[in-house]
Chains A and B, each alone.
With several copies, the nearest count.
Chain A
Amino acid sequence: MTSPHQGATGETSFVVELSAFNGPLDLLLSLIRDEKVDIYDIPIANICKQFLERMHELALNDAADYLEMAARLLRIKTLMLLPRHEGLDQWEDPRAELVRRLLEYQQMREVVDVLERLGEDRRNRFARSWTQTLSAPPQAPLALSLAELLLAVDRVLRQARKPVMHDVVPRALDVDGAIAIVRAVLALRANARWRDVVRLDAEPWEVLSALLALLELARRSELKLAQSRPFSDVEICRELAGEAA
């Protein structure tokens, strides 16, 4: 898309017409170009009228962004009609803000032209799309430091809304977490073993948490604990009395 010039080609579809302009500023800029008017001295009444006409032609009457611009133009037009006080040298042109935005937009459109050219050049070249699988691609090692992690914690704490984070503390024991694990396991099957709810390499706090979780759930009659003989694996059985899913 370069400067989108297209006479309203009869009854083209809504979508096509919409994409003819990249927004109200684009449309406005093209009107200013077509009319060959000075961007610093826009004949606002004329441009406003044309803007509304094009909006109608292009069936953009329902497009919020265009409506907003139309309202803005009408407001500027009204302000321009207000009598200026002779003595007041501090008259601020109501068009100033619009001009600034148009110039900014136009500048960006220049960059778009550059990007478009560069992108097209690149699109005209293929990179290697077939890659030889050498062996399993190893991941780059990680460089981590505790200080970095703590700084991240600090940032999170600063950013988080207080109510959400006020209770952030390392938990010596995480019984709730362990309860969730046990329930998850029992949701999948009626019987489980100790090893199903505690990983082999579990930390002491995890083991304790799991133990407390099992006792707690047994107390709530969500499960039954059994041991067939001393030192054998603990068997965990789901109790139907458990809370409704």
Chain B
Amino acid sequence: MNSLAKLLEAALFASPRPIPTEELAVLDDEASKAAVQSALDELREHYNVDGHGVELVEQGGGWQILTRPEYTEAIERAQMAIRPHRLSGAALETLAIVAYRQPIGKAEIGEIRGVDVGAILKSLLERGLVEVVARGEGLGRPLLYGTTPLFLEQFALRHLEELPRIDELAIALRTSKPAEDEAGASTEPVPAGSA
């Protein structure tokens, strides 16, 4: 490819929106509009002839590099198949507190964990594991959170009462096999006083 085509490729790749031909001409003072047009043709040809996963298309008032339609399905499928996401130790702790203390406000969770839990709570909400179940009393009527049916499903619980009582916890921990190996534990951000 000629150097103008390479420059256009880089610019089209980096730009967050389609770029019209006239704007592309700004990239190189010395390039005429005709030169830009022929460089675009060269780039498009190159993607087509050479066998690429992407193509150059003119749409939305400008030029864009798009992935070819025949690959979109595989990409979407792959996003589904991406290895299951493990919750971080911090997220699990927050979830545990919500499960045992619901309905509970953000401030109270933060007090127990000793850190601000806003971001973690947000991601648990997005994942559908907790939800707002009420508003609390007092200043600002804080949102109170509880666990969702999905939470029960994910942990294979029929209802919340199936969670061991705190005073039974030690026994439950001894009998239940910790998920997998140390792989899980090593990514555990919490300094395990136990493990």
- A–B direct touch in complex (beta carbons closer than 8 A): yes
A125 near B135 with CB under 8 A, answer no
Residues in A117-152 with C-beta less than 8 Å from chain B: 118-132, 134-135, 137-152
Question: Residue A132 contacts which of B66, B100, B102 (CB distance < 8 angstroms)?
Answer: B66
Q: Is B61 an interface residue (CB 8 A)?
A: no
* In the complex with contacts A108-B93, A119-B154, A128-B15, A151-B173 CB distance below 8 A: yes
**Complex Cα distance A47/B28, Å?**
54
**Complex Cα distance A101/B75, Å?**
44
* In the complex with contacts A25-B114, A143-B85, A172-B161, A129-B16 CB distance below 8 A: yes
B169 near A150 with CB under 8 A, answer yes
A126 near B113 with CB under 8 A, answer no
**Residues of the A chain whose Cβ atoms lie less than 8 Å from the Cβ of B67:** 125-126, 132
Q: Is A19 an interface residue (CB 8 A)?
A: yes
**Chain A min CB distance to B152 (Å):** 9
Q: Is A115 an interface residue (CB 8 A)?
A: yes
**Chain A min CB distance to B125 (Å):** 12
**Chain B min CB distance to A71 (Å):** 13
Q: Is B24 an interface residue (CB 8 A)?
A: no
B112 near A1 with CB under 8 A, answer no
B100 near A169 with CB under 8 A, answer yes
With a 10 A CB-CB cut-off, give which of A69, A143, A153, A164 has the most chain B CB atoms. A153
A158 near B193 with CB under 8 A, answer yes
The residue of chain A having its C-beta at the shortest distance from the C-beta of B129 within the complex is A142
**Complex Cα distance A100/B173, Å?**
9
**Complex Cα distance A150/B116, Å?**
22
B102 near A177 with CB under 8 A, answer yes
Q: Is A170 an interface residue (CB 8 A)?
A: yes
**Complex Cα distance A73/B149, Å?**
40
User: Which of A6-14, A180-188, A223-231 interfaces with chain B?
Assistant: A180-188
Q: Is B43 an interface residue (CB 8 A)?
A: no
The residue of chain B having its C-beta at the shortest distance from the C-beta of A182 within the complex is B134
The residue of chain B having its C-beta at the shortest distance from the C-beta of A21 within the complex is B89
B92 near A65 with CB under 8 A, answer no
A128 near B175 with CB under 8 A, answer no
Question: Residue A121 contacts which of B69, B76, B81 (CB distance < 8 angstroms)?
Answer: B69
B15 near A104 with CB under 8 A, answer no
**Residues of the B chain whose Cβ atoms lie less than 8 Å from the Cβ of A134:** 14, 72, 75-76, 79
Question: Residue B15 contacts which of A19, A64, A131, A159 (CB distance < 8 angstroms)?
Answer: A131
* In the complex with contacts A104-B112, A144-B155, A174-B164 CB distance below 8 A: no
Binary CB contact string for chain B from 1 to 35 against chain A (1 if under 8 A, 0 otherwise) = 00000000010011111000000000000000000
* In the complex with contacts A107-B169, A142-B84, A148-B179, A115-B155 CB distance below 8 A: yes
**Complex Cα distance A1/B69, Å?**
21
The residue of chain A having its C-beta at the shortest distance from the C-beta of B116 within the complex is A65
Q: Is A96 an interface residue (CB 8 A)?
A: no
**Chain B min CB distance to A143 (Å):** 4
- What 6 A-B pairs have minimum CB-CB distances, sorted nearest first? A126-B14, A143-B84, A1-B89, A152-B92, A125-B66, A124-B69
**A-B contacts, 6 listed (Cβ < 8 Å):** A101-B114, A108-B113, A112-B92, A142-B154, A147-B177, A177-B134
Binding site for B on A (CB under 8 A): 1, 4, 19, 22-26, 64-65, 69, 100-101, 103-112, 114-116, 118-132, 134-135, 137-160, 164-165, 168-170, 172, 174, 177, 180-181, 183-184, 187, 201, 203-205
